[in-house]
């Protein structure tokens, strides 16, 4: 589904990713942990195609229509329409744009690309309310501007709502659990789990093993100084929780 090989990437002239490789298959959930500043968000931005981040060398391939296809040089919106989704660590506020309109434009952009029928506002409203129920979100959010006057936790929940609307094949969740209270985390995890299937895959970036009690990963990676320094099963997250990163970094 996703294959990253020996990736070097920079932002504003600083090389942050230094030889990162990662391979994710359909049906898998990968967790990425790592100290602050190790490059986790950078990885997510590079995969999503942020224009400020430059790929210096290496490759990023995503399976599109059954074929591994390079994402390098592809616009972020093209990647999104091909089934890539990024839940932001810091969701962006868009004043003046109602959440419902934003979600519908997004949904319809993806539908158009795949030759599917677009939804009118009334049908979409019904569709959206179903998704919001799963995430136990109040109706009041859909009339508000995107992420404006949302609490930190509400913004995170809104990211997962967007994911539920778009139903991506590959989702990268960047610290979606940070800022969520225990109950919200369970709700969000439940939302994520309902979207899990054999045909899609997820990369979950987190600092806390707690989230992984609810979203069970198949594989856990530790990222340090722009490279993956350790890959193991779910027990690695527990070990990091008790021992920190020192023993891995040496």
Partner 1 sequence: MTDPKPLTTSQVIRIPPHKKAGDVLRVPSSATDVLIHLEAGAEVAVVLSIAVGLPTSQVSVVLEDGARLELLRMINPGVAFACESRLQVRQAANSSLRSFFVTKGGNAVRDHVNILLEGQGSEAFLNGLHHLAGDAEAESHTLVDHAAPSTMSNQLYKSILRDKSHSVFNGKIMVRREAQLTNSYQLNKNLLLSSEARVDTKPQLEIFADDVKCSHGATIGQLDDEQMFYLQTRGMDRALAGEMLIHGFIEDVLDQIKDVRLRQEVEAVLQGDVGYV
- Return residues touching ligand ATP (CB under 6 A): 11-12, 14, 16, 34, 36-42, 89
If contact means CB under 5 to 8 A according to the sort of partner, which of Mg ion, ligand ATP, partner 1, none does residue 158 touch? none
Q: Which residue, 63 or 174, is less far from partner 1 as judged by CB?
A: 174
Q: Does 41 bind Mg ion (CB under 5 A)?
A: yes
If contact means CB under 5 to 8 A according to the sort of partner, which of ligand ATP, Mg ion, partner 1, none does residue 14 touch? ligand ATP
Beta strand residue intervals within the chain, DSSP E: 2-11, 14-24, 29-33, 53-64, 67-70, 84-87, 94-98, 145-146, 170-174, 201-205, 219-224, 227-232
User: Measured between alpha carbons, how far is 77 from 240 in angstroms, rounded to an integer?
Assistant: 35
Q: Does 96 bind partner 1 (CB under 8 A)?
A: yes
| HSE value, Cβ hemisphere, 13 Å, CA-based, for 138 | 8
Q: Which residue, 30 or 40, is less far from Mg ion as judged by CB?
A: 40
Q: Does 86 bind partner 1 (CB under 8 A)?
A: yes
CB of 160 vs partner 1, minimal distance in Å? 13
Long-range contacts from 139-145, C-beta under 8 angstroms, 24+ separation: 141/99, 142/98, 142/99, 142/100, 142/103, 143/98, 143/99, 143/100, 144/98, 144/99, 145/93, 145/94, 145/95, 145/96, 145/97, 145/98, 145/99
CB of 211 vs partner 1, minimal distance in Å? 22
If contact means CB under 5 to 8 A according to the sort of partner, which of partner 1, Mg ion, ligand ATP, none does residue 75 touch? partner 1
Q: Which residues sit opposite 222 in a β-bridge?
A: 33, 230
Q: Total number of residues binding Mg ion (CB under 5 A)?
A: 3
Position among 70, 105, 193, 197 found at the interface with partner 1 (CB under 8 A): 105
Report the interface residues with partner 1, using CB under 8 A. 48-52, 75-77, 79-81, 85-86, 88, 91-92, 94-97, 101-102, 105-107, 109-110, 113, 145, 162, 166
């Amino acid at each position: 589904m996703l294959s990253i090989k020996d990736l070097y990437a920079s932002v504003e002239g600083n090389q942050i990713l230094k030889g990162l490789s990662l391979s994710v298959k359909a049906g898998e959930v990968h967790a990425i942990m790592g100290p602050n500043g190790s490059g986790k968000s950078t990885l997510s931005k590079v995969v999503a195609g942020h224009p400020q981040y430059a790929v210096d060398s290496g490759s990023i391939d995503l399976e599109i229509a059954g074929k591994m296809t390079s994402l390098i040089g592809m616009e972020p919106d093209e990647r999104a329409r091909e089934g890539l989704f990024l839940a932001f660590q810091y969701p962006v506020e868009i004043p003046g744009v109602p959440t419902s309109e934003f979600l519908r434009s997004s949904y319809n952009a993806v539908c158009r690309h795949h030759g599917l029928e677009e939804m009118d506002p009334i049908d979409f409203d019904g569709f959206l309310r179903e998704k919001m129920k799963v995430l136990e979100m109040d109706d009041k959010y859909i009339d508000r501007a995107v992420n404006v006057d949302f609490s930190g936790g509400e913004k995170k929940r809104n990211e997962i709502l967007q994911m539920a609307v778009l139903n991506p094949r590959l989702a990268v969740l960047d610290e979606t659990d940070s800022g969520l209270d225990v109950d919200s985390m369970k709700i969000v995890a439940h939302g994520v789990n309902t979207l899990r299937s054999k045909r899609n895959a997820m990369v979950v970036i987190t600092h806390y093993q707690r989230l992984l009690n609810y979203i069970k990963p198949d594989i856990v990676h530790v990222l340090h100084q722009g490279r993956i320094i350790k890959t193991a099963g779910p027990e690695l997250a527990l070990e990091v929780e008790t021992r920190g990163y020192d023993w891995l970094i040496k």
